[in-house]
Structure 1
Amino acid sequence: MTVNLTRIYTRLGDSGETHLGDMSRVPKTHPRIEAYGTVDELNAHLGVAIATPGLPPRYVEWLRRIQNDLFDVGADVAVPHGGDKERLRVQPEQTAWLEERCDEVNATLAPLRSFVLPGGTPGAAQLHVCRTVCRRAERAAIACGDELGEQVVRYLNRLSDLLFILSRGANGSEEPLWQPGAGQQQQ
């Protein structure tokens, strides 16, 4: 599948509308636009995570693959189901790959003793930002309703799990944990 971009600005969106992938016009506030816009935001945050020094090289490799997969997610969200053309859709194998990475990294981590506070190393902190944006993308995809394929939501749900697990791995044994009521005792 080849993509050719010859011109970046078209002026077609100046009135507050844009095209979906099937060329139908919708307001820029349409749930699909919100969903794939949030997926795009997540992808940009993953780029920051990749550029953060100190992440294990295999995490960087995986995140680059995920960035590419997120373009597949965006393409799936951008094109309503139906019609005569075959369209790019998220496949169950993409979600299964995320599950395999979750299991692989989780097997190396100590059991959780409390909720994890977002932070720690710069890489772990950025992965937590990615996780929260991924959860928002998942909610935005759900808001599209039944017209959106179920694989998109599954993929985003599993991706947020992986980002949490990777943030734990990036922190090593020094992950910041929630201490319930700790601030109340320091009066």
Structure 2
Amino acid sequence: MKIYTKGGDAGQTSLFSGRRAGKDDPLVAAVGDLDELSSSIGLAVLANPEMRPKLRAMQKALYTISAILSSEGTRSNLSLDPAETFALEKYIDELSERLPPLHDFIYPGDSEASARLHMARAVARRAERAVSVLQDPAAPGDVLAYLNRMSDALFVMARWADFAGGLEDLMFKSPDAEK
């Protein structure tokens, strides 16, 4: 099987629903952002092998979300289990309990491990924004909740990566606070 079909050469692509859409279509852009997020998580796995199971579970959920969105409501058998969002919440809570309290913004990237997780978090926020503006059909609420929780999890995982490596959060101090 050839990887190229030449079907997208004129600026259109096929969605899971069967519809042909322009590559500038908001849905195509959102699914592209989800793909970029999965790739960013893949980079984070390399620097955080102990987090591999959680990160791979996130990637799996992203493929499910992409299928849900690109089916445009034509596949009723596709859904995201709300238990996945609850599992992320539990994981966030477990890691957060082991971290020092956070009172200020932090600078990302005290280590490569945390920098990769912070980068994935930033891509997750962009993907969430792209998915949240979709209309006809709009993204299901469980998808938006999961993406929101995923970025929170990536943030806490980044903090944990530094903490476990003996590094402290580098806090942002406003110019007013430094006077």
TM-score by length of 2: 0.91
Give the number of aligned pairs: 175
Alignment counterpart, residue 141 of structure 2, candidates 143, 147, 150: 150
Residue 145 of structure 1: CA displacement? Answer: 2.8
* Counterparts of 1:100 and 1:7, CA distance in 2: 43
Partner of 1:68 in structure 2? 60
Residue 56 of structure 1: CA displacement? Answer: 6.0
2:126 matches 1:131: no
Partner of 1:91 in structure 2? 81
* Counterparts of 2:106 and 2:136, CA distance in 1: 33
Residue 66 of structure 1: CA displacement? Answer: 1.1
Q: Where do 5+ consecutive residues of structure 1 fail to align?
A: 1-5
* Counterparts of 1:171 and 1:134, CA distance in 2: 20
Partner of 2:112 in structure 1? 122
AA at the equivalent of 1:102: I
2:157 matches 1:163: no
Partner of 1:3 in structure 2? none
2:20 matches 1:22: no
Residue 96 of structure 1: CA displacement? Answer: 1.1
2:165 matches 1:174: no
Give me the CA root mean square deviation. 1.9
Q: Per-residue displacement from partner, 1:106-147 (whole Å, max 9, x unpaired)?
A: 111111131111111111111111111000000000111361
Alignment CA distance shift 1:20-1:113 (3 Å):
same
Identity over the aligned pairs, expressed in percent?
A: 35
TM-score by length of 1: 0.87
Q: Where do 5+ consecutive residues of structure 2 fail to align?
A: none
SS in 2 for 1:145: coil
Q: Which runs of 4+ in 1 moved over 6 A?
A: none
Alignment counterpart, residue 32 of structure 1, candidates 23, 27, 44: 27
SS in 1 for 2:13: strand
